[in-house]
Amino acid sequence: GEDVEQSLFLSVREGDSSVINCTYTDSSSTYLYWYKQEPGAGLQLLTYIFSNMDMKQDQRLTVLLNKKDKHLSLRIADTQTGDSAIYFCAAPNDMNRDDKIIFGKGTRLHILP
């Protein structure tokens, strides 16, 4: 089945760009997702990319997909204190066709003043 890996922690200065990386194993994954979780809250769908795309941009967010390396990244431009959260990469378990989404362990983004 699908396995999703991401680094656990990232520290970035306010105003700089943040890049959060993720790798996955199932090459048949159709959609790949980024969810954001702020303290004490549920997960919020931040953005997603379809597997036939290489890049998707949405305001300050840029998603890059390298299908050959099964690598997904989320870039946040001009990082602000409100971006401090845990970011989960997620992919459907298409190989097993069991209608599940597999989450990575989450990357905690810490903003330095």
Please give the residues from 68 up to 107 whose contact with another protein meets the rule CB under 8 A: 88, 92-94, 97-101, 103-106
The encoded tokens of residue 46 equal 């931040």
Using CB under 8 A, which residues numbered 14 to 73 contact another protein? 30-31, 33, 35, 40-45, 48
Residue 29 DSSP one-character state: -
Cβ proximity to another protein: between 40 and 113 the closer is 40
Angstrom distance (rounded) from CA 9 to CA 99: 29
How many chain residues are in contact with another protein, going by CB under 8 A? Answer: 25
* Residues 6+ away with beta carbon under 8 Å from 46: 34, 35, 36, 61, 74, 87
The residues that touch another protein, with contacts defined as CB under 8 A, are 30-31, 33, 35, 40-45, 48, 88, 92-94, 97-101, 103-106, 108
